[in-house]
Amino acid sequence: MDKTKIVSELKPQKDQLQKTYLDSGLKIVESFSKEDLKILESIKSKHFEDRKILELKLRSEEAAKQSEMTKLISYPLIKGNLEYNLPHQQEGALKILRDLDGRALLADEVGLGKTITAGMVLKECIVRGFVRRALILTPPSLVNQWKEELSTKFDLDFKEVNKESEWENAGLAIASIDKVKNFNVSTNEFKHSKAHEIYWDIIIIDEAHKLKDKKTFRWRFVDKLQKKRLLLLTATPFQNDLIELYNLLSLLRRGHLGTISEFRSSFLVDGNERQPLNPRELKRKLSEVMIRRRRDEVKGIRYMTRIPKIDSINLSWQEKNAYEQVVDLLLLHYFDFKGEPISTNLAAYSVLPKITSSSKSSIEFLENLVANPKYHKTTQDIAKRIITDFKRITDDTKIKKLIELIHEINNRDKDTKILLYTKHPATLKYISDILRKQKFKITEFKGGLTPDEKTARIKEFKEKTQILVSTETGAEGLNFQFCSNLINYDLPWNPMAVEQRIGRLDRIGQKKNIFVYSLATKGTMEEHVVDLIINKMCCIGLVMGELPIILFNMGLDSNGQSGSSKFEERIMNAFLDSKNNLHRFTSEIDKIGGEINKGIKEYEQTKKYTSQLLD
């Protein structure tokens, strides 16, 4: 059924004759439909229908009449799209709508699906006709994930707002909070002040703990939004002190905790903003606006462990030589046709991932360079020489290691499935060809497949083949919880992208612990990056969804000047600054690792502190 039509409530209500008036302070909007006049015209032109249709119509109105808010009438519409029925999500959505009038702080622990609960609230409001204009504000890195979930799970098509002019037509809008909160000091206005002119039926703010400080533009931007319903999502509503909690609740219900002086005298131990004076009373006040559930009290979810394994590859001297030559070419001899050096930054971002992926993608890069007249002859001559060197290499150590690894996995469990990731289509084809020759049963999965093709290939992987070789664009948003082995043939230097890869397997419904294998060339910079991202970030026991919060807290989740993620940018810059000096590169990577570790520790402390007060 075409559920994008939803119901008539979503249709624009232009054909209304409206009257608005105040009745003892209460605003009443009464309207008649302009369509009424058409009916009078039909009578005039003697156009009549069978009266029995009216009886049927009245019965249809009765049957379609929505029940009181005791259950989610929209749930059957989305049930088929959700992987699991977790009752706490429906209960939460109902409580928000029925008991909290749609203004709530949803503070469930990470991993319980706050996004799904918020989506249920949204869908229910739309189906019941309460919401026409909705706004979702998320951290930059989560905009696409939200859009995808709303589309695939809730059949809701949200439009991303980037420019100010886009607000006018945004019925269902989503935006990065970091982008829209920008303040223009010269005009003394928010750049996206148009958002403040709209009366929103519902606003959802993800990772709302960033709204802890009243003085920030972020807080002020949200406070100025006109809204009927407001949902703040965060597992840690305060980090450093209880004033942050006060500020957050001020957005929800002004004065709910009194004035700041009253709050201090009623709820804080004198001189200590972390220590609640009257925790029981504070908890009671919070329960009027907040929902919080802990993982250990929710049934039906099992959390599996991620087991990291980095497989180091000892390159042959020929391979190592070829690799070094490409790095040198990039750092020292990368010229345009005029002989001007091409920005090494640009080269690093676009080329480095290719040369660390496979000899095949290195050769592809070099061949393109030779064939392209925009490069200088010197560069092209060097490239030709390296190609010759590459072609002399008879053994591919990395692919050999991969085959060994697959056998090792099979020895452990011969019926297990493997999701094998690479960033580059050229590498994908190369791997697939070799694995097929080795008689492995594989399915290829890459970008550009139609939805039907995707479905067919997932089915093939589930039922017939053992290995799915995929690029991330191919498998974005798909669920493979029936598979528990992931091999990173190459690794994105962006932990969020790695998290997305692992997220295909590490989701509700996964029954086994997840093995995360990563191939890394020994003695290269790649080895250190893989160690940082896998061992120190993605596989340290965090629950799915926690790493993005940590990066968001550290301001590392948005894109940097190059357009790549800030984290990736820092690693690339470390590569460039090191001038191919491994020692220098390693010390910079250690520094980044130290910062990440600090961020993780702070997050863990915040969780502990939140739990002490709220649970």
Partner 1 sequence: MEKANQNNSKEFILEFFKDSKIKDERGVLTISEVLPEFEDFIGKKSPYKLVFDFNLHNKIKDSELIMQGSYFLLSIRDYLSDKGQTSLLKINTTPNLSEISKIPKLKNCKVIEIKQSSYEFLSEFSFLSNYQYLNEKKQSQNKILVKNREVLNLDLSKFKIQTSNKDEIPEIDLSNAYQIAKNRLTSNVTKEIKPIKIILKEKLDRELGRIKDHYFKQIKEKDEEVERCAEKIKLLKSKLKHTFYDRDISILNRLIRESQERLENLKKKSYKSRLEAEEKFHVNDEVEKHVLSIKNNLINVTLYYYPTYDLDIITKGKKVVQKYDPVLKVIY
Residues 155-214 that bind partner 1 (CB under 8 A): 199
The residues in 454-493 that bind partner 1, with binding defined as CB under 8 A, are: none
Q: Which residue lies nearer to partner 1 by CB, 69 or 434?
A: 69
CB of 26: closest distance to partner 1 in angstroms? Answer: 6
Instruction: Indicate whether 1 belongs to the interface with partner 1 (CB under 8 A).
Output: yes
For residue 132, give the nearest of 299, 303, 32, 16 by alpha carbon. Answer: 16
Using CB under 8 A as the binding rule, the residues of this chain from 17 to 76 that contact partner 1 are 23-33, 35-36, 39-40, 42-54, 56-69, 73, 76
Provide the minimum distance between the beta carbon of 528 and partner 1 in the complex, in angstroms, as a whole number. Answer: 50
Question: What residues between 104 and 133 interact with partner 1 by CB under 8 A?
Answer: 125, 127-130
Q: Which stretch binds partner 1 (CB under 8 A): 136-144, 256-264, 363-371, 563-571?
A: 256-264
126 vs 175 by CB, closer to partner 1:
126
Beta carbon nearer to partner 1, 95 or 179: 95
Residue 134: how many other CB atoms lie within 10 Å: 23
Candidate list 83, 84, 87, 98; residue touching partner 1; CB under 8 A: 98
433-452 residues near partner 1, rule: CB under 8 A: none
Cβ atoms of 132 and 7 closer than 8 Å: no
Q: Of 197, 262, 336, 413, which one interacts with partner 1 (CB under 8 A)?
A: 262
Measured over the CA atoms of residue 472, residue 474, residue 479 and residue 482, the dihedral's sign is negative
Query: Which is nearest to 442 in space by CA: 421, 469, 481, 405?
Result: 469
Instruction: Kindly report the number of other CB atoms within 10 A of residue 438's CB atom.
Output: 13
Return the number of the residue (285 or 504) whose C-beta is nearest partner 1.
Answer: 285
Residues within window 391-410 making contact with partner 1, judged by CB under 8 A: none
Residue corresponding to tokens 């070829």: 322
Amino acid identity at 168? E
Minimum Å gap between C-beta 230 and partner 1 is: 10
Q: Find the part of the chain contacting partner 1 (CB under 8 A) among 142-150, 224-232, 368-376, 600-608.
A: 224-232
Q: Which of 165, 186, 187, 261 binds partner 1 (CB under 8 A)?
A: 261
> Which residue, 53 or 269, is less far from partner 1 as judged by CB?
53
The helix or strand, by DSSP H or E, that contains position 529, with its residue range, turns out to be helix 525-530
Residues near partner 1 (CB under 8 A), total: 76
Quick check: 66 and 126 in contact, CB under 8 A? no
Contacts of 511 (CB under 8 A, 6+ apart): 302, 304, 481, 484
3 state DSSP class of 64: helix
Q: Near partner 1 by CB under 8 A, which window of 222-230, 349-357, 360-368, 484-492?
A: 222-230
81 forms part of the interface with partner 1 (CB under 8 A) = no
CB-wise, 117 or 380, nearer to partner 1?
Answer: 117
**SS3 state of residue 462:** helix
Determine the residue type at 271: G
Which residue in 253, 264, 309, 607 binds partner 1 (CB under 8 A)? 253
Question: Smallest distance from the beta carbon of 189 to partner 1, in angstroms?
Answer: 15
CB of 130 to partner 1, least distance (A): 6
Give the integer Cα–Cα distance in Å for 563 and 580: 23
Cβ closest to partner 1, residue 300 vs residue 447: 300
CB of 34 to partner 1, least distance (A): 10
Q: Determine contact, residues 460/489, Cβ cutoff 8 Å.
A: no
Neighbours of 216 (CB within 10 A): 15
User: Measured from the CB atom, is 77 or 449 closer to partner 1?
Assistant: 77
Q: What separation, in Å, do the N-terminal and C-terminal C-alpha atoms of the chain show?
A: 43
* Alpha-helical segments (H) within 13-142: 35-44, 51-64, 75-79, 87-98, 114-127
Q: Which stretch binds partner 1 (CB under 8 A): 252-260, 312-320, 397-405, 573-581?
A: 252-260
551 three-class SS: helix
From CA 128, how far away is CA 307, in angstroms rounded? 45
Please list, residue by residue across 162-174, b when 16 or more beta carbons sit within 10 angstroms of its beta carbon and e when fewer do: eeeeebeebbbbb
Closest C-alpha to 405, from 304, 313, 538, 532: 313
Shortest separation between residue 137's beta carbon and partner 1, angstroms: 17
Min. distance of Cβ 232 from partner 1 in angstroms?
A: 15
Q: How far is the CB of 405 from partner 1 (least distance, A)?
A: 39
- Rounded CA-CA distance 157/4 in Å is 9
Residue 58 or 307: the one with the smaller Cβ distance to partner 1 is: 58
Other CB atoms within a 10 A radius of the CB of residue 461 amount to 25
CA 610 to centroid of chain Cα atoms:
24
| Among 208-216, 251-259, 298-306, 565-573, the segment contacting partner 1 (CB under 8 A) | 251-259
CB atoms within 10 A of CB 237: 27
Backbone angles phi, psi at 420, to 5 degrees: -110, 120
Instruction: Please state the closest distance from residue 368 (CB atom) to partner 1, in A.
Output: 46
Task: Tell whether residue 509 is a contact of partner 1 (CB under 8 A).
Answer: no
Residues 339-378 that bind partner 1 (CB under 8 A): none
